[in-house]
C-alpha cells in the first residue's frame, strides 16, 4: 500500500479531536469544517460536551459522527454528575460518548464501583456508541490493562480506548496489543481506539499493522477501530499530497 493510500485509510478512521482547555465555539466550527473538507471525511469529531450542539448544527446531515467526553479527563467525577452530563450530551446530538473509566478506583481494588459507572452510562447510550477510556499509560503493568479492559467490556463498552491524551504516557503498542487480545476473546463485537501521542503516518501504520495481524485484514473499519488525535490530521493530508479543500464534502 502506498503512503497516500495508507493515509486515506487512516483518515477515514480518525476521531478529529479538540479537547484543549481553551477550546472555543469557533474552534468547534473549524474542527467540523476540517472534518468534512479533506480528501475523505473523518469518522467523527470529538469535542467538549458544551460544543455538541454547535457541531450538530455545523455538520448537519454529514456522515461524520459527533463524539464527546464525560468524566473527563481525571475519571474521578461522582456518578450522578456523569450521568447528567451524558444525558445532556445525548440530548444535544452526540452520537458517541467517550467515558473515562474511574481507573484510580480500579487500581485501588474498587472495580465494582467502576463497573457500576460504565453500566449506568451504557444504559443511557442505547443506540449510541460507548467508548471507555482506560488511561493505560498510568497503569503499573499490562496485567492491570487486561483487568480494566475486561471490566469495561463486561460492563457494556462498545469500544475500549487507550488514553485521554492528557497524561505524560498515552497510547502504546504493548497496551494496544493486549487490548486487541481481550477484544478477540470477548465473544461480541468490540472496537479499539488508540488515542494520545499518535502524530505521524508511521505511528498510524504501526497500529493498523498490529490490528491487521491480530484481527485479520478485513477487521478494521470505522465501526471497529478509531484513532483519537488532532495533529495526525495534518500529517495524513501531507502524506496524501494535498491540503484540505475549500469546499466541504457533505453538509456543513
Catalytic residues: 98, 161, 193
CA-nearest of 55, 76, 28, 35 to 222 is: 35
Helix (H) or strand (E) holding 209: helix 201-215
Cell of 90: 445525548
The distance of Cα 202 from the centroid of its chain, to the nearest Å, equals 19
Residues 208 and 10 sit within 8 Å (Cβ to Cβ) = yes
CA-nearest of 1, 44, 4 to 237 is: 4
Q: What is the CA radius of gyration of the chain?
A: 17
CA distance 23 to 51: 9
Q: Is the backbone peptide bond immediately before 73 cis, with ω within 30 degrees of 0?
A: yes
Helix (H) or strand (E) holding 132: strand 129-133
In this structure, the number of other CB atoms found within 10 A of the CB of residue 166 comes to: 15
Pairing of β 159-161 and β 129-133: parallel
Helix (H) or strand (E) holding 238: helix 232-240
Q: Is the backbone peptide bond immediately before 25 cis, with ω within 30 degrees of 0?
A: no
Amino acid at each position: 500500500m502506498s503512503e497516500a493510500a495508507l493515509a486515506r485509510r487512516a483518515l477515514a478512521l480518525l476521531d478529529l479531536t479538540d479537547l484543549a482547555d481553551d477550546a472555543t465555539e469557533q474552534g468547534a466550527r473549524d474542527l467540523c469544517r476540517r472534518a468534512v473538507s479533506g480528501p475523505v471525511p473523518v469518522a467523527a469529531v470529538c469535542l467538549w460536551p458544551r460544543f455538541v450542539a454547535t457541531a450538530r448544527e455545523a455538520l448537519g446531515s454529514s456522515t461524520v459522527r459527533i463524539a464527546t467526553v464525560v468524566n473527563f479527563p481525571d475519571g474521578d467525577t461522582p456518578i450522578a454528575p456523569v450521568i447528567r452530563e451524558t444525558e445532556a450530551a445525548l440530548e444535544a446530538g452526540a452520537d458517541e460518548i467517550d467515558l473515562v473509566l474511574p481507573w484510580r478506583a480500579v487500581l485501588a481494588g474498587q472495580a465494582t464501583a467502576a463497573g457500576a459507572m460504565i453500566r449506568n452510562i451504557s444504559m443511557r447510550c442505547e443506540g449510541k456508541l460507548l467508548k471507555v477510556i482506560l488511561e493505560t499509560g498510568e497503569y503499573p503493568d499490562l496485567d492491570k490493562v487486561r483487568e480494566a479492559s475486561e471490566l469495561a467490556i463486561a460492563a457494556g463498552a462498545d469500544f475500549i480506548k487507550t488514553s485521554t491524551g492528557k497524561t505524560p504516557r498515552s497510547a502504546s503498542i504493548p497496551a494496544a496489543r493486549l487490548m486487541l487480545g481481550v477484544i478477540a476473546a470477548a465473544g461480541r463485537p468490540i472496537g479499539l481506539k488508540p488515542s494520545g501521542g499518535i502524530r505521524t503516518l508511521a505511528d498510524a501504520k504501526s497500529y493498523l499493522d498490529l490490528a491487521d495481524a491480530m484481527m485479520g485484514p478485513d477487521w478494521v473499519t470505522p465501526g471497529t477501530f478509531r484513532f483519537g488525535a488532532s495533529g495526525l490530521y495534518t500529517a495524513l493530508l501531507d502524506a496524501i499530497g494535498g491540503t484540505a479543500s475549500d469546499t466541504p464534502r457533505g453538509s456543513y
